[in-house]
Amino acid sequence: MIRHGFRVLGIPLAAETKRWRGGVRTVLPAELTVANVPIGDLADLFIVKVLYLSLLRWFSGERAEMIEFSGSDYPTGSLEGCDLAWDETREEAGSSCKVLRGGIVMQFGKQTAGALVVAGLLLGLSTMALADSLTVKTAAGSVHGKTINDGKVNAFLGLPYAAAPVGDLRWRAPEPAPKWKGERDASKFGAHCAQGKVFEDMIFQDGAGNEDCLFLNVYAPADAGKTSKLPVMFWIHGGGYSGGGSSEPRHNGDFLPTKGVVLVTINYRLGVFGFLATADLAKEANGAAGNYGLLDMVAGLQWVKDNIAGFGGDPNNVTIFGESAGSFAVSTLMASPAAKGLFHKAIGESGAAFGGVLAYDTVEAREKADGEWVDSLGVKTLAELRALPTDKILEAAAKKKTGFPPDVDGKLLTEAVDKTYADGRQAHVPLLAGWNADEGSFMGARGMTVDGWKGMAGGVYKDKSAEFLKLYPGDTDAQALRSAIDFGSDSFIAFSTWKWLEAQRKTGDATIYRYHFELAALPSKYHPGTFAFHSDDIEYVFGTLDTRPGETVRPEDRKLSEQFMSYWTNFAKTGDPNGPGLPVWPKYGKGDELIHLDSTISSGPDTLRPRYEFLLQNPPAFHF
């Protein structure tokens, strides 16, 4: 008996051939069944039906006793993205099986010629199946992607989700992407958004930055199809709303989709191009100005709703997640009427729009400050402003001390984010959020002494300094350094993220999971010192530890990354990060329980609440 196996559109099929009286005969079943579903009911599996009918016709003579197709658990391999399976017993009955690039050739004794014809059919159809899985029709036109990670993941890169925001569309809400004819190449990243030099560790795999940058990328398991309905994870990169892009290697989608999700990563307008707010812009847009970058995210989510099913995703199970400014954006989108109904779960990594490092001003305040900056450019009208070259605008923007953060514009945000949460008008969706142990590692760059720390406490908190030093002690130089890092972490990121969790817990009517990431990374090219620094979590979440320049990756790093990916994708699937083989992650409820993500994972009650209750009454006296 000879067993052959192969896959078409990710469906494993097996063929069984028996020798009979020195020859071979064929009797094919009248109906093919895949996973207990009659093939006639699988309308999308056109290639499977063609394959079956072709084999039925070919083996209509008495050449084999039986060829049987059924679901298969045979060993699988992968060549050039074409899945292939075979059984070691294939040498029986004098047959042989030879693997070629992308296909299989079967030889059955004297029936070699006929078998090769069938093999040619299999080769052609397997190639068609691969091409079909890499070609997807979107509302704007068809796109053709590529396989990555040894054929495990299909990648569709540089997909336009909105029109290029250039010319008259500069500083306007995003418009729909224009349609195209034919098939668009989706094997390369689109340009990242125009920006100045923000952070050294931001490395891009596309060319130079450009204002024509509203592209997203879709990564799906190689066997995903239109009927897969996999959970969707929508990533929003960080960078202070002024830097970053979806082509950074640490955001690559080689690994996360292997956990059974469809990953979407996006570019959005940054800095002056994403958040300029002036009176003229407000007048032009019925009172709303700024937040173009956040409106881009909404447009990206709308694109997902309209198109993601074709890539195997479920538009009714979308998780937004982001780090730093991306986490600020997640908390903001939860408060935005414009994003309502476009996502169903949220993950925030280090940051929230609850004051602190990225305070959101009113549109009126921004009109004044940004208007003065525009006046310094020597232009008199919006037309003249829109005609200025990209480089000149970036050069002038770099000189503006206050930057260009989001604002309460009256459209994307109708009120302050914390007020929306306080009144319970935010999205009532499951939330997973937390931060890293050493977000304020920059505070340790110059060291700290007992005298220096106590002097700082007295200067900043005066009559409250004794209470402050109980929470952030400094009895030794080492303790003072640790407290400086902790206070820097809280003032920079942790406190605002904690306030978000608390606000959602009070009025969000949905489950919450809180984490604290504690495994300190070894020094690398852009991150000296041994810290769980700000942004350290990204490569763990995406499984991309090897993309960090100069990084020494330890076994405990790889183990924790695998756990990160499982927790995050489990949450995207069900709203609960827990799953087989993972340490239990308790809900963040009355007991204030959270999980500690370290080389050994543990969980327990929060011990830091007294610090944040102190900061509620005595807000940090400085911002970053």
Residue 222 contacts residue 133 (beta carbons within 8 Å): yes
pTM over cut 0.75:
yes
- In 3D space, the residue among 59, 87, 63 whose CA is nearest the CA of residue 75 turns out to be 87
- Tell me if 257 sits within 8 A of 231, measured CB to CB: no
C-beta neighbour count of 567 within 10 angstroms: 25
Tell me the domain boundaries of the chain: 2-133, 146-429
Q: Give Cα separations from 213 to 41, 210, 247, 304 (angstroms).
A: 42, 6, 11, 17
Is 60 an active-site residue? no
- C-beta atoms surrounding 66 within 10 Å: 17
- Residue 373: count of CB within 10 angstroms of its CB: 18
574-592 in b/e form (b: 16+ CB < 10 A) is ebebbbeeeeebbbbeeeb
Alpha helix stretches (DSSP H) within 312-464: 325-335, 363-375, 382-387, 390-397, 417-422, 450-461
Nearest-5° Cα angle at 348, 443 to 317: 165
The tokens for 557 are 């790093």
Q: Which of 4, 237, 344, 534 is catalytic?
A: 534
3-class DSSP string for 138-151: CCCCEEECEEECCC
- The pair of structure tokens assigned to 621 is 């006296």
Name the DSSP letter for residue 64. -
Tokens of 380: 């008199």
Q: In the prediction, which pLDDT does 621 show?
A: 57
From the candidates 324, 327, 331, 489, give the one annotated as an active-site residue: 324
Write down the pLDDT at residue 94: 31
**Among this protein's residues, is 251 annotated catalytic?**
no
512-517 vs 593-597, strand pairing mode:
parallel
pLDDT along the chain (624 residues), means of 10: 39 40 37 37 34 39 33 31 32 30 30 39 45 88 98 98 98 98 98 94 94 98 96 98 98 98 98 98 95 98 98 98 98 98 98 90 94 96 98 95 93 97 98 97 91 96 96 98 96 97 98 98 94 97 97 97 98 98 96 97 97 94 48
Q: How many residues does the chain have?
A: 624
Selected catalytic residue, list 323, 439, 539, 551: 439
For 459, residues 6+ apart whose C-beta sits below 8 A from its C-beta are none
CATH class, domain 146-429, is alpha beta
Query: In the annotation, is 593 catalytic?
Result: no
Q: DSSP label at 178?
A: P
State residue 133's pLDDT score.
80
Judge whether 267 and 244 are in contact, CB under 8 Å.
no
CA–CA distance, 244 with 200 (Å, rounded to integer): 10
* Run of H or E residues at 264: strand 262-266
3-state class of 435 per DSSP? strand
